[in-house]
Structure 1
């Protein structure tokens, strides 16, 4: 019923209804923002290049620190104890504790606007189907079967 009311522009009728609905929405929004606060506490990095460090068990990384909505991200050079995937996103939980965001967030060069965009999973129908991604920046969509297979690895396997 609520969805149908929304579609038919049957929202709050009185000032009291509007005030109550606004209060409910403010509570939901505050909870959502609270749940996403960790994104501001930990850097998200795009690995642009990597190379081994001679005579040391380290990998030298050239990364872009993903912050804000500006396409010009700060470039940083760091070392890490393990090789990582070039052109993948990672959230840095600690100096030696990076968690891959693939297959949930994927950087790609958009074929429509010819710029780098970060895509999130918008739709996925299961193991054998490709995933549909939507870009945060412009809402462009792409399909990719390889990412769909990677998402399947996150599903519990029935025995």
Structure 2
């Protein structure tokens, strides 16, 4: 699995996705055994609303960028994951600066994965949580069916 899109990106063989760059995404560690990923975001003031707090859609994108990589780290080389359903709960306002994220793949059932995610501020307070469902798409070329 270390030869998949995620790990090639982490090794610098592929560019970091634009959205990850915008969010200030950085891998801290991946725990294969627990299927968890730990990341940091350097949330800039470009992500804020007029009141100076991080916009909720940006926090949702951060959660997606915790949960998605938790799946991508475990996928085969020819698989990708698409978010099909996501529910976010906002618990407190987020300020620009370092935000930590944890994503966990809870289970995979065929071509469907279920995840949960959490964002925390620099004081360890939970900012937002989410659960999501992802569809796994197999991009491997198929042999034509004999007619």
TM-score between the two structures when normalised by the length of structure 1 = 0.27
The structure where strand makes up a greater share of residues is 2
Larger Rg: 1
TM-score between the two structures when normalised by the length of structure 2 = 0.28
Structure with larger RCO (C-alpha < 8 A, sep 6+) = 2
